Amino acid sequence: MENLKVIVDIGSSGIAAGAGKVHTHLQNIIKQDQLPIDLQQTSGIGMCYKEPLVEVKDADGTYLYGDMTPDLIEDVLHSHLKLNVPLEKYVVHTANFDTPHNAFMNDQTRIALRHCGVIDPEKIEEYEAQGGYQAIKRLFKHKVEPGKIIQTIIDSGLRGRGGGGFPTGLKWKFAFNSKSDEKYIICNADEGDPGAFMDRSLLEGDPHAVLEGMIIGAYAMEATGGVVYCRAEYPLAIKRLNKAIQQAHDKGYLGKNSFGIDGFDFDIYVKEGAGAFVCGEETALIASIEGKRGMPRKRPPFPAVSGLWEKPSNINNVETLANIPWIISNGPDKYAAYGTEKSKGTKVFALAGKINRGGLVEVPMGISIEDVVYKLGGGIPDNKKLKAVQLGGPSGGCIPAHLLDTKVDYESVTATGAIMGSGGLVVMDETTCMVDVARFFLDFTRKESCGKCTFCRIGTKRMLEILTRITEGDGKPEDIDKLLELGEEVKKNSLCGLGQTAPNPVLTTIRYFKDEYEAHINDKKCPAAVCKQLLHYEIDPEKCTGCTVCAKACPTEAISGERKGVHVIDQDKCIQCGECYSKCNFDAVLVS
Amino acid sequence: MSDKVNIILNGKHTTANAGDTILEMSRQHDIKIPTLCYDERLKPNSSCFVCVVEVEQNGKKSMQPSCSTFVNEGMHINTSNEAVKKSRKTALELMLSNHYADCVGPCKEECPAGVDVQGYISLIEKERYSDAIGLIKETNPLPAICGRVCVRPCEVACRRNLLDEDNAVGIDYLKRFAADQDFASENYYSPEVAESTDKKVAIIGAGPGGLSAAWFLQQKGHQCDIYEAQPHPGGWLRYGIPEYRLPNDILDKEVERITELGVNIHYNQKLGDNLSYAQLDKDYDATILTIGSQRGTLLRAEGEDAENVFSGIDFLRNMEMTGQRYDFKGKKVAVVGGGNTAMDCCRTAIRCGSTDVKVIYRRTEKEMPANPIEIHESKLEGVEYNLLTNPVKVNKDEQGRVKSMTLIKMELGEPDESGRRRPKPIEGSEYDEEFDYILAAIGQKTDINFLGDINKHSSNGELLANRWGDIDADEQTLQTSIPSVFAAGDGVTGPATIIEAVAQAKTAAHSCHQFLIGEEIKPEPREFFSRKANFKKQEKKDYLERYQNQQREEMPTLPENERVNFNEVELGYAGEAVAKHEAGRCLECGCSALHTCDLKAYATEYQAEQMAFEGEFNDFETDHSHPFIEIDNNKCILCSRCVRICKNVVGANALGLVERGFETHIAPSMGNSLNDTNCESCGMCISACPTGAITENVLFKPLPVKTEVSRTLCNYCSIGCELEIHHKNGFVTAVEGAKGTVNKDGNICRYARFGYHYLNDKERITKPLIKENEKFRPAEFAEVFAHIKKQFSEGEGAHNALFAGARLSNEELYLAGKLAREGMKTENIGSFHYLGREYGYVNNNRHSVPFDQLKDAGKFFLLGSEINTDNAVAGFMVQQQVVENEKPLVVITEKEHSAMSYKADENIHVKSYYHLVKAMNHYLVNNGKENRMFIDAQCADYEKYKSNLLSSDYKELVKQSGISENAVEKLADAYNLEPNAIMIFSEKEVDPATSQEVLNLAMITGKLGKTAMGVVVLKEKNNSQGLLDMGIAPSLKIGGVKPEKTDDTLKMKVQEGAFKNIMILGEDPAGTAKNQQDIAKLIDNASFTVVQDAFMTETAKQADVILPASYTIESSGSYTNTNRFIQQYTQHFSTKTGKTTFHQLVALLEQFGIETKKDAAYVMDDIARDLPGEVDNKLNFIATEYAGDKAMFNNGADFINKKFDEMFEKAFTGKRVAVEASIYG
């Protein structure tokens, strides 16, 4: 009998869930019991909500097990080895039978993520075994002109996946047209959006795809050097990247005369960023690589003309680059077959928030948000009602439930007031206060403002102050207009994307949930019962058992009552902290 | 760039230069776009967003910062539509919402007339009283009066109250002091009156309002005639305020200053009575009604018609009108009311003989509106108070005279709308008190019984009364419903204060002026002022740390027992020292950039509101740790111009941005004090700051007043920078760079920026001095000149010597040469600055690279030059190339620590410049690396030089150079192979022989005299080159033509003390000698020494005669910079010495019987005539044998240079010189 192949998913989210322990345990028992098992590793298939994941391949097929623990994996192996049957109740994905989670994988179209969770990212051989580095080799073999490569990318319709959505091929063309003795291709792996982890997963799961994309780009636009600007908070990604770079070197894919091409001395190094959100903006990113304070500057000149070290430079996002080898290998038409008229191909989304299946999915452009949330994401937990989806990270905007049929393509998303961004998708249900959400996101962006532009530096601060006072019950009737007015000014008058988009959450929530704002301001009420200072707590005398738990929990001694008697809240003393509500075992504390 | 693009600018088709930004293009089209972060010297930063414009291209409209957006074909640009204005205003308002700072102090803010209190206090502190009065009179023509009787809202607002227990700065007393000084001065302040407009204005009433209106309008050229009902001017000032507070002669003097301008006052003319509007309407173009509120109100209580019940003002007026005092001896007098009129009444009643005067007031003393000092004085004089008491009725005797008053006790209830607690009668507390007289000082009414007369004769409208019975006038403009009639003062507002009447008069005068010249009548634009109080109430703790308690100077008064008369009670400050001390208590709340701040100017222009966006604000400590540069982050708008200029132009990189978002701010690197960074104290950051965030830490009390600007040349180093001297009537407050011919960017260094205090220094010598019995006595020029002539004519010429310094102008040096050679008959002429080295430096800069070619340099070699401090403006030009264009910089130095090291790409430490350069030359020549083509075509004497050079021992040269053979050769190759290599050296460090070898090097490599390559020579003093060009060396001729045989004996003669008579012009050899022995004998052996200088230098102390030197700004002439570029400067100040240095030399020459031109410009003609006609254009190789002599004197032998360096060093080691102390004396 052939050995069983067992692959543990060891990416950052897997490790966080305990994949490391599972892997160690497996190593131990395999050694100890001399089990006929080939233990391998891979990284992040995207099913984060089921991590740790372990894939078992037996003669009959492949079974992905979720929620694994060291004990459970023993059971799983036992079942496969001894009984020769998969332990169905833990299987989250397989082709051999239905599982409640199959849809999560089956409904995806994986191009960028094609190797994630499939290969061992630390082994260049595995990448090559999957057709890796074939694209570039083919280009060299057929002596394809740079112009033709660029045309291929233009034809594919690939647009910048970092958020801007600028046609990648055109960007390359601009860089190609800038003649210079030095030229750079930069991979933007700064990924500053909280909740977004597309780039990290790609770098952890398939670093060679990104490198190959860069090498193809470098060749196409005649770049002389490459930099991956990766945030230092991604140690595993950086480790695997560096390992991959070393492997590529060893193979002669990087360095002097790469791939044996005379004069093609392309090399790549990793620059670790200190985690400033604004450094995802290309001019700030360049400043940061140059050792300066990460602050954006006015464009033009665009980096394609004057970028890193004032030399022509091209900056692509990780996901964009990961698509490149696939497009070269499969042809632009095949890529362009996916998606809509103006938004081709696929897009990776990080699903988060109030959703059953949080994780990473790659879907064709043009799929509706509804399908993403319900078909792939499995809907909202506890059968709550969906209220809105925040798309595009903290500087994106929210799309309300009634626009759920919006297609995910650049134009449709922008029309709603949100942006595609890098693909963060946060689902919010009825228990979410939209004013509070806007405040939360704006608090992030205003802290991350580099401080350069007046509007971004002070304007976002003033907007935040208005939002804060609204959520604290001190809102004034003119506040909504003030937010709209100031928000528009901040958008219009900021140098970079951070300021230009920071007001989006505020503007879109006002656009779609003005009634919530009005309730906060005029009625001093938070309809979603989130804004603490607007809540009103009362004890239901019918339900109160006089257990005194609430009175003991109250930090301001606002609750009084005899033991076994009905308790009351003194509203003058109540500070709306919610302690009584969370402590009451009888649902006797009512919030309104 | 010549390529043009078509654009649509504000709706009009036009063209623009391709490659220009919208801002540059707009400036060419004379469109002003505001900007805060743009600095012509730097690349655009685009952070303030004040310069936004609307751009439409490819059908897309957007806002773009114009400073960094380039014009494009087909672009539609709108620079000032509503959207643009809104964005700019919002940008300004956002900045202002975090601008926790005061533009002006609360004193000025609270003054109804907006008098610049801080400004005049600072002028008083500088003993510039008439300037102070001039400043006050810009808004208030009555300082002597207001200085005595103003209600002083300024003092209530004064922040000194927070520190010194409610003892404000004595603002009013200071004003009075200045006014009294101005009265006493011959040069008292009097404004300029514009040429007559042939318009006439009738002003009704010669009270404070009428007088003020006349003052303002007459200055505009309108003839003002005041019609006054009373026989004397002053109105309420004379008839309401008793003389013991405001003497009539003071009033008359102040009025005289107004009538002097041409204002007429017609007395005993009452409108509606013996003066009809019919006549005014006929004779005048406009009328201003400043009639006051003349009618007193009585008690509004039963029995007020009793005899001996007066209104307070009638009581006071009657006495002034009749000249008769009431006789209150033995009488009981009640004064009802709590205001200043009540105080005037009660204190006058005492002076009328009563010893039983009671003030009856219904609230407590705390609520009394009278000045506290008045209450205090009244008590001293014996006035008693029945507080919380109110009249109920007056009880008469049989004759209907006052017998007693029924009074009722009061208590305070809830605060009313005025914020004061409302008094309520206590039921049943009535009681009777006997009185003989009752004076009601509880209010006044306006009397407008002339309304009928006006309306009867008015042809274009009807004058109306408002509901309070005052004149109805537009609140903003004070125009009445008759367009040609304006009104101001109490007649409009009802009874108010003098200063409010003055303020109103200014408004009415402004409107009236607009009316007269046919402009639309609108109020003066509201000036924006940022206020700390907008953010939070100011409290003691906000000021405790920075300021110390300081006792208020009390006003001396008449002893109480001498007051039963109408003599002035307050006597005025005892003297200047008292005034100065009191002025010193001012906390200088206002910003020193008040008049230069762009943020404030734009905020005014865009009518921005500081509190449009309320919220959190940053509150930083002001950083005073640097002795010259003050950083107040609260005023920073984060344009980062300081950061950028310090990095890109200065290269010091001493400032940076720290933190993110709203917390972002500017800080010295590593969070240290600026002192601990690479800061070079050049002050370029100050020049870049558009607000008051980085300012000069001045030695004197800051003087944020509007200044005049005079353009002159710097007299420190040899770069030749043009300066803007900012001054108030000659008191220099700041020096800025002008965009000069050499300093094109307007950059200046620390010497120019911080080294101007000598211009204000009071220790300056302003008269000729003759030494008698070891003491100097002042003398007249004539006496001194005759004396000098006599001494220098007595003996042989060989015993005379003349030394002139490099601070003197070409013209002065030329005359000095004439004086020595033709007058004193001597060739013993020279400068200490160059002593013994003259001929070696004469022509070293004939082919120096002009500064504006530095931008095209390929590589810089700095040889023995601390360029960033000694010649910093040239340093900036180099540095900008090094930082922005990455031009390499090699620093070659003999010093162990060069201040340039950290800026260099390569540092080469050598032992001897001379041997290094000679070794380089040897290497190049010996290895056939010389540029033969260049040498053959352009140079002379090469072969001679070559054989001489090659005869020296190469190994020895290398050894002495202090670096390895390999390093010498590498350096020589580097210089040779870089086409645009420029070697920069400074004479301060590099001796004449080395200087020659550097020129030889440039010739060997074929770089001399070509564009952007070769050599730059830096000289030490502003006119070092002039010394050589004007022949200030033995036998040296005009134009720096060396004699056939040079005479090197002058130095020896100096050291031997070979002269009997010495004249030293503008040099301080004794104070600057590196070795005192070099100079000791010179003066000791001389029997007669004349020194010309501005201060008592070490040399001057030893002189027999001292001539006072004039300053550059006080005279005209020219300097020749180190590039041999001659720049002229002209006189802006009259010289304090009576005669300029130049004219002293002219007079001296005349004394010697030598006629010369009496104007610097004509002397320049003579100089030009004396220049040699043909100059040999060949470049001569000159061999040298050994390193030449180094300078014997520091600081270019110049006292002012020396003092600056000393002051500078001291500033960092100890406390900065106290405000009063002289630095130079």
B675 touches chain A (CB under 8 A): no
**Is B1 a residue whose pLDDT tops 60?**
no
DSSP letter for A455, please.
I
The backbone region for B962, taken as left when phi is positive above 0, alpha when psi lies in -120 to 50, beta otherwise, is left
A333 touches chain B (CB under 8 A): no
Query: Which residues on chain A are in Cβ contact (under 8 Å) with B62?
Result: 492
| Neighbour-count burial of A474, counting CB atoms closer than 10 A to its CB (0-12 exposed, 13-18 middle, 19+ buried) | middle
B639 touches chain A (CB under 8 A): no
Largest separation between any pair of C-alpha atoms in chain B: 132
State the Cα–Cα distance between residues A384 and B1004, nearest whole angstrom.
Answer: 89
Compute CA distances B152 → B110, B113, B157, B162, B168, whole Å. 9, 11, 9, 17, 10
Q: Which residues contact B1176 (CB under 8 A, 6 or more apart)?
A: none
Count Cα atoms within 13 angstroms, Cβ side, for B1149: 22
- ipTM exceeding cut-off 0.85 for this assembly: yes
Residue with tokens 């001894």, as numbered in its chain: A82
Mean pLDDT of chain B: 94
Q: Which of A278, A299, A446, A462 to probe the B interface (max B CBs under 10 A)?
A: A462
**CB B97 to CB A462 under 8 A?**
yes
pLDDT class of B670 with cuts at 50, 70, 90: confident
Residue of A nearest to B614 (CA): A462
**CB A493 to CB B52 under 8 A?**
yes
Residue B91, min C-alpha distance to chain A (Å): 6
pLDDT tens profile B916-970: 999 999 999 999 999 999 999 999 999 999 999 999 999 999 999 999 999 999 9
State the Cα–Cα distance between residues B799 and B810, nearest whole angstrom.
Answer: 25
Query: Which residues on chain A are in Cβ contact (under 8 Å) with B44?
Result: 298
Tokens of B768: 């000729």
pLDDT tens profile A523-575: 999 999 889 888 888 999 999 998 999 999 999 999 998 888 899 999 889 98
pLDDT class of B1214 with cuts at 50, 70, 90: low
A493 touches chain B (CB under 8 A): yes
State the Cα–Cα distance between residues A514 and A506, nearest whole angstrom.
Answer: 10
Q: Which of A450, A462, A492 lies at the smallest CB-CB distance from B660?
A: A450
Compute CA distances B347 → A221, B328, B353, B403, whole Å. 95, 12, 10, 22
Q: What is the SS3 string spanning B222-244? A: CEEEEECCCCCCCCHHHHCCCCC
pLDDT class of A486 with cuts at 50, 70, 90: very high
Query: Which residues on chain A are in Cβ contact (under 8 Å) with B640?
Result: 452
**Is B1220 a residue whose pLDDT tops 60?**
no
Radius of gyration from C-alpha coordinates of chain A: 26
The fold of the A434-522 domain, in CATH, is de novo design (two linked rop proteins) (1.20.1440)
The yes or no reply on domain A346-429 and CATH 3.10.20.600 is yes
pLDDT value of residue B665: 95
Beta-strand relationship, B402-415 and B421-425: antiparallel
pLDDT value of residue A1: 54
Preceding peptide of A52 cis, ω within 30°:
yes
pLDDT tens profile B14-25: 999 999 999 999
**CB B662 to CB A297 under 8 A?**
no
Phi, psi of A229 (to 5 degrees): -95, 105
Tokens of B1094: 């501005």
Query: Which residues on chain B are in Cβ contact (under 8 Å) with A493?
Result: 49, 52, 63, 87, 90-91
Using DSSP, how many helices (H) and how many strands (E) does chain A show?
A: 24, 18
Q: Which residues contact A123 (CB under 8 A, 6 or more apart)?
A: none
> At B873, which helix (H) or strand (E)?
helix B872-884
pLDDT value of residue B540: 92
Query: Which residues on chain A are in Cβ contact (under 8 Å) with B97?
Result: 458, 462
State the Cα–Cα distance between residues A178 and B829, nearest whole angstrom.
Answer: 65
Residue ranges, CATH 3.10.20.600, chain A: 346-429
Residue ranges, CATH 3.40.50.11540, chain A: 124-335
A477 touches chain B (CB under 8 A): no
Residue A470, min C-alpha distance to chain B (Å): 14
A446 touches chain B (CB under 8 A): yes
Class (C level, CATH) for A124-335: alpha beta
Residues of chain B numbered 76-135 and touching chain A (CB < 8 Å)? 86-87, 90-91, 94-95, 97-98
pLDDT value of residue B590: 96
pLDDT tens profile B59-103: 899 999 999 999 999 999 999 999 999 999 999 999 999 999 999
Q: What is the SS3 string spanning A328-347? A: HHHCHHHHHCCECCCCECEE
**Is B230 a residue whose pLDDT tops 60?**
yes
Q: Which of B662, B663, B691 to probe the A interface (max A CBs under 10 A)?
A: B662
* Three-state DSSP state, A534: helix
**CB B91 to CB A449 under 8 A?**
no
Would you say B863 and B881 are in contact if contact means Cβ atoms under 8 Å apart? Answer: no
Handedness of CA A162, A168, A172, A174 (dihedral sign): negative
Residues of chain B numbered 613-632 and touching chain A (CB < 8 Å)? 613-616
Residue A362, min C-alpha distance to chain B (Å): 33
State the Cα–Cα distance between residues B706 and B594, nearest whole angstrom.
Answer: 9
**CB A454 to CB B94 under 8 A?**
yes
Mean pLDDT of B763-779: 96
B599 touches chain A (CB under 8 A): no
Query: Which residues on chain A are in Cβ contact (under 8 Å) with B87?
Result: 489, 492-493
B954 touches chain A (CB under 8 A): no
Mean pLDDT of B204-228: 97
Q: B776 pairs with which residues across the strands?
A: B771
**Is B2 a residue whose pLDDT tops 70?**
no
B52 touches chain A (CB under 8 A): yes
State the Cα–Cα distance between residues B175 and B117, nearest whole angstrom.
Answer: 9
**CB A452 to CB B45 under 8 A?**
yes
Residues making up chain B, counted from first to last: 1225
Q: Please provide the DSSP assignment of B775-814 as one string.
A: EEEE--HHHHHHHHHHHHHHS-GGGEEEEE-TTS-HHHHH
Would you say B293 and B495 are in contact if contact means Cβ atoms under 8 Å apart? Answer: yes
**Is A255 a residue whose pLDDT tops 90?**
yes
- In 3D, which of B666, B641, B637, B639 has the Cα closest to residue B94? B637
Mean pLDDT of B787-815: 96
- In 3D, which of B749, B708, B713, B712 has the Cα closest to residue B732? B708
| Separation of first and last alpha carbons in chain B | 54
Tokens of B251: 């009033």
Q: B800 pairs with which residues across the strands?
A: B1061
pLDDT value of residue B635: 97
Preceding peptide of A301 cis, ω within 30°:
yes
- In 3D, which of B577, B545, B702, B583 has the Cα closest to residue B168? B583
Mean pLDDT of A125-134: 96
Compute CA distances A31 → A39, A55, A69, whole Å. 10, 19, 18
| Neighbour-count burial of B564, counting CB atoms closer than 10 A to its CB (0-12 exposed, 13-18 middle, 19+ buried) | middle
**Is B343 a residue whose pLDDT tops 50?**
yes
- Cβ neighbour number for residue B772 with a 10 Å cutoff: 10
Would you say B913 and B921 are in contact if contact means Cβ atoms under 8 Å apart? Answer: no
Would you say B833 and B1021 are in contact if contact means Cβ atoms under 8 Å apart? Answer: yes
B886 touches chain A (CB under 8 A): no
**CB B662 to CB A451 under 8 A?**
yes
pLDDT value of residue B548: 87
pLDDT class of B1217 with cuts at 50, 70, 90: low
Tokens of A544: 């109160």
Query: Which residues on chain A are in Cβ contact (under 8 Å) with B63?
Result: 492-493
Residue of A nearest to B662 (CA): A457
pLDDT tens profile A398-420: 999 999 999 999 999 999 999 88
Q: Which residues contact B453 (CB under 8 A, 6 or more apart)?
A: B271, B272, B276, B277, B278
Mean pLDDT of B433-450: 90
Mean pLDDT of chain A: 94
Q: Which of B20, B640, B660 to probe the A interface (max A CBs under 10 A)?
A: B660
Beta-strand relationship, B75-78 and B52-57: antiparallel
Query: Which residues on chain B are in Cβ contact (under 8 Å) with A489?
Result: 86-87, 90
**CB A458 to CB B95 under 8 A?**
yes
| Neighbour-count burial of B614, counting CB atoms closer than 10 A to its CB (0-12 exposed, 13-18 middle, 19+ buried) | middle
The fold of the A535-591 domain, in CATH, is Alpha-Beta Plaits (3.30.70)
Phi, psi of B164 (to 5 degrees): -110, 45
Residue with tokens 């780009």, as numbered in its chain: A217
pLDDT value of residue B1061: 97
Give A4-102's CATH code, choosing from 3.40.30.10, 3.40.50.620, 3.40.1080.10, 3.30.70.600: 3.40.30.10
Using DSSP, how many helices (H) and how many strands (E) does chain B show?
A: 44, 44
pLDDT tens profile A546-559: 899 999 999 999 99
Compute CA distances B1058 → B264, B834, B1089, whole Å. 72, 18, 13
Residue of B nearest to A300 (CA): B69
B69 touches chain A (CB under 8 A): yes
pLDDT tens profile A341-369: 999 999 999 999 999 999 999 999 999 99
Residue A148, min C-alpha distance to chain B (Å): 29
Q: Please provide the DSSP assignment of A103-137 as one string.
A: HHHHT---STTTTTTTS-TT-HHHHHHTTTTHHHH
**Is B1067 a residue whose pLDDT tops 50?**
yes
Would you say A340 and A409 are in contact if contact means Cβ atoms under 8 Å apart? Answer: yes
B669 touches chain A (CB under 8 A): no
Would you say B858 and B626 are in contact if contact means Cβ atoms under 8 Å apart? Answer: no
Residue of A nearest to B885 (CA): A310
Tokens of A402: 């009634």
Q: Which of B49, B86, B662 lies at the smallest CB-CB distance from A455?
A: B49
A511 touches chain B (CB under 8 A): no
Phi, psi of B131 (to 5 degrees): -65, -40
- In 3D, which of B362, B425, B205 has the Cα closest to residue B294? B205
Residue ranges, CATH 3.30.70.20, chain A: 535-591
Compute CA distances B615 → B536, B538, B842, whole Å. 11, 17, 66
Residue A458, min C-alpha distance to chain B (Å): 6
A299 touches chain B (CB under 8 A): no
* Three-state DSSP state, B296: strand
State the Cα–Cα distance between residues B1182 and B996, nearest whole angstrom.
Answer: 7
pLDDT value of residue B41: 95
pLDDT value of residue B420: 77
**CB B659 to CB A446 under 8 A?**
no
